[in-house]
Amino acid sequence: MDNKLNFNGPALLTGKIVVKFFGKFSKFEHVAFYLVTKSGAYIIQLRGEEFLNAVNLRNLDNKIVLVKGIVKNYSVFASTIVEIGTVIW
C-alpha cells in the first residue's frame, strides 16, 4: 500500500471496497477488506466489530462507497458506509 496522504483522524472518504490478502506468505495471512481511494488503500473495519468478522462488508465487494470514520495509519474504522455505485468492467 502506497498511501500519498499521511493522515490520522476523522475522515470522509470515497473509494471502492476490494478483497485482498493481508500478510501474504506469513503465518498470519488472511483475507481483508480494503477501501481503495485515489490517495491510497486502507484496511477497512466497521467500528465495534472484530477484524475478521466482516460479514457486512462482503455485500459491498467491488462497490463504490462513501465512508465516514476514523483513519489511523493504514486502517479506516468506519462508523457509516453508504453505497454510491457499482464498478462495471
What structural domains does the chain harbor? 9-86 (2.40.50.140)
* Residue range 9-15: mean pLDDT, rounded: 93
What pLDDT, on the 0 to 100 scale, is given for residue 55?
63
What pLDDT, on the 0 to 100 scale, is given for residue 49?
64
pLDDT exceeds 80 at position 87: no
Q: What percentage of the chain reaches a pLDDT higher than 90? A: 40
Mean pLDDT of the residues in the chain: 82
Cell 490517495 -> residue: 39
Q: pLDDT band for position 59 (50/70/90)?
A: confident
Question: pLDDT of 14-44, one tens digit each?
Answer: 999 999 888 788 878 778 899 999 988 999 9
Pairing of strands 30-37, 9-22: antiparallel
b/e 64-80 (16+ beta carbons within 10 angstroms → b): bbebebebeeebbbbee
